[in-house]
Structure 1
Amino acid sequence: YTVLLLAALAAEGVLREDDSLAAHLPPGPRLRHAASRRITLRHLATHTSGLPRIPRALIPGALLRPYTSGYARYDTDRLLSAFAATRPPHPAGRRWIYSNFGAALLGAALARAAGAAYPALLGDRVLRPLGLTGTTLRPGPPDADAAGHRADGRTPLPATDMGAFAAAGAVRATPHDMLGFLEAHLDPSGTPLSEALKTVQIPQLHRGGRHGETHTLTWFQHPAPGGPLLFHAGATFGQQAFLGFHPASGTGLAAAATRRSRACRLVPAAYDLLHALAGEAVR
């Protein structure tokens, strides 16, 4: 959702994907490391910024309290301070490292560039144009939200407050809206975000050699019968989700689980099902 917002703002001329991150961030501490000043918005979108997965200060809390959201205590000022103090382990563009840290900074940069708070900006530029009325960034009533659970599948967990990391994982969507999001990618020309939806499907990089993975601005891309299969998966402390689609056959699949553990096979099962459906549709 955040990278689609980036593409939408680029299509409007508000910014460019290759703009410097530092040029669009809110005022904050001076960046201490030259490598940080070389990071672009595209690097953040493709997880090639060189930044770690999360800021170092979040690691002790994550180890001691694995089911408690440390993100809730991170406001934008703290996020910017963490970025200013972080020396990227790798130069931008050199290596692929999935980074919630980078996604959070991308959200802050987009909000600054467009002059609106991230939740309102996502709603105005992405959710409402696509008719996704069942998608929000805030928890709903307890009887409306699906409750997440620990690995045992029984112990409930509170809704996750993502703080300044909203752009990395705060979206809450109904199954209907998850499929609507996929339908927009399968038929971009029928939406107000046609250019942006096409842009986020263009391959950007390949890693891992002949048997590795191709990445677009936001999707993982794998070979499949008739044409590539695009997908993404994510998780919070008590839930998992998978979205994937196969443009050649017009097939899309959304899957979710209200628990998170290594024993939960949601993501590989959903991927295998989508691949099988795509193959049957092409045949």
Structure 2
Amino acid sequence: MSLDRPGGALADRLAEAVTLIDAPDIVLAVTHRGRRTVISGGTALAPATPRHALRYELGSLSKTFTVLLLAQLARSDVLSLDDRLADHLPALYLPHAASRRITLRHLATHTSGLPRIPVDLVAGALVHPYRSGYARYDTGRLLDTFARTRPRYRPGTRWRYSNFGMALLGPAMECAAGADYGTLLTERVLRPLGLTGTTLGAGTTGTDAIGHRTNGRTPVPSADMGGFRAAGAVHSPPEDLLTYLEAHLSPGDTPLSGALRDVQVPLLRRGRRHRHTHTLTWFQHPAPRGPLLFHGGATFGQQAFLGFHPVSGTGLVAVATRRGRTCHMVDTAYELLYELTGEPGADPETEPDAQGVP
């Protein structure tokens, strides 16, 4: 399918994809060389605020914002990607030698050797699957737990997805820049890119999407990420997410051109037969006309996906509220993005990993 065809072919294809996703509220949006197409739907009655105007929880997609901030701070000589984390946490005693070798780059690329989440969060997640354990995990507790945690692998030797490691970028950047994470994100990323509807945490305007439990009726409270804000606290409307993708597709048109290019540079290979590449923040998979980059995210009641294909100038936004843990949105969005690169059907060996649940 070509996005350059006149008429409503793209809108029809997005509408078809919406029917494959089992979710109360769904928005699929495509940008192609600056031209936008947005389709919404879902199994629930349409909310008072149109679905495309709601602000959605991004979960782990927030990591792309955090690492873009990190890259911007590096470009501004506030810090270096290869600074040791310990140097930006000078008051924290680290008894494990491996912990003292962790760099900011290791945290961004999930090669720090730290576990996915702290051990003391695991039991609570199993007993209370819809309750955010992060809410009671403030920055002080996060740092204390890090000091006690021995990395499972020598930093820089293995890729292991880690919300724990990403969360530590927050206090490290705060120390380096002398400002809190929310202020840094707003002043150095959101405002320069014109993301006026994007917030850290729920907004105050009453236009936040609401997820539900499996029964489709019981609301799931907005995710409070506590000290894990850098790993999953961004909320954003689809329009802002399209703007965000367009900035990645045309970095030179933005004030963050250097940082936007930096986060797209391939850094390591992973996955089956090492076919998959990881940049500073994005997953990168091969496609016939050039690589596509993407990231997924999920909270206890919502799910999000962003992907873009630089060669064709195409970006895809997919956001949804959901009932329970499965709605087929990520697979559907990934296959649609692959199709929009100019080739029908995704390669089954390059299907996305199910990362993103906080």
Cα shift at 1:25: 2.1
For the pair 1:176 / 2:235, whether they are aligned, the reply is: no
SS at match of 1:256: strand
Equivalent residue for 2:175, pick from 106, 109, 112: 112
Aligned counterparts of 1:260 and 1:16: Cα–Cα separation in 2: 42
For the pair 1:4 / 2:49, whether they are aligned, the reply is: no
Structure 2 residue aligned with 1:205: 268
Structure 2 residue aligned with 1:23: 87
C-alpha contact 1:214 1:222 (8 A) present in aligned 2: yes
For the pair 1:94 / 2:167, whether they are aligned, the reply is: no
Cα shift at 1:43: 0.4
Equivalent residue for 2:315, pick from 245, 252, 265: 252
- Aligned positions of 1:48-197 closer than 5 A: 48-141=111-204, 143-197=206-260
Q: Deviations over 1:216-241 (max 9, x none)?
A: 00000011132110000011111110
C-alpha contact 2:276 2:286 (8 A) present in aligned 1: no
Cα shift at 1:138: 2.4
SS at match of 2:317: strand
Aligned counterparts of 1:71 and 1:251: Cα–Cα separation in 2: 35
* Structure 1 ranges of 4+ moved more than 6 A: none
C-alpha contact 1:2 1:122 (8 A) present in aligned 2: yes
Aligned counterparts of 2:262 and 2:107: Cα–Cα separation in 1: 16
Aligned counterparts of 2:122 and 2:301: Cα–Cα separation in 1: 18
C-alpha contact 1:26 1:112 (8 A) present in aligned 2: no
Aligned counterparts of 2:236 and 2:289: Cα–Cα separation in 1: 30
Cα shift at 1:180: 0.7
C-alpha contact 1:7 1:199 (8 A) present in aligned 2: yes
Cα shift at 1:106: 0.8
Aligned counterparts of 2:159 and 2:83: Cα–Cα separation in 1: 19
**What one-letter code is carried by the residue in structure 1 that aligns with 2:109?**
T
SS at match of 2:342: helix
Aligned counterparts of 1:170 and 1:234: Cα–Cα separation in 2: 11
TM-score (norm 2): 0.76
**What one-letter code is carried by the residue in structure 1 that aligns with 2:331?**
P
Structure 2 residue aligned with 1:230: 293
| Segment of structure 1 superposing worse, 255-264 or 191-200 | 255-264
Structure 1 vs Structure 2 CA RMSD: 1.5
Cα shift at 1:242: 0.1
Structure 2 residue aligned with 1:32: 95
C-alpha contact 1:26 1:109 (8 A) present in aligned 2: no
SS at match of 2:294: strand
Aligned counterparts of 1:151 and 1:229: Cα–Cα separation in 2: 32
Check 1:260–1:104 CA distance in 2 against 1; reply closer, same or farther (3 A cut).
Answer: farther
Q: Which has the higher contact order (CA 8 A, sep 6+)?
A: 2
SS at match of 1:206: strand
C-alpha contact 1:240 1:260 (8 A) present in aligned 2: no
Structure 1, unpaired ranges of 5+: none
Check 1:118–1:213 CA distance in 2 against 1; reply closer, same or farther (3 A cut).
Answer: same
TM-score (norm 1): 0.95
Aligned counterparts of 1:44 and 1:260: Cα–Cα separation in 2: 32
Aligned counterparts of 1:264 and 1:248: Cα–Cα separation in 2: 30
Cα shift at 1:262: 4.5
Q: Deviations over 1:143-176 (max 9, x none)?
A: 3100012234332101111011000000000110
SS at match of 1:53: coil
For the pair 1:43 / 2:106, whether they are aligned, the reply is: yes
**What one-letter code is carried by the residue in structure 1 that aligns with 2:225?**
M
C-alpha contact 2:263 2:280 (8 A) present in aligned 1: yes
Instruction: Give 1 or 2 for the bigger CA radius of gyration.
Output: 2
Structure 2, unpaired ranges of 5+: 1-64, 345-358
Structure 2 residue aligned with 1:273: 336
C-alpha contact 1:134 1:174 (8 A) present in aligned 2: yes
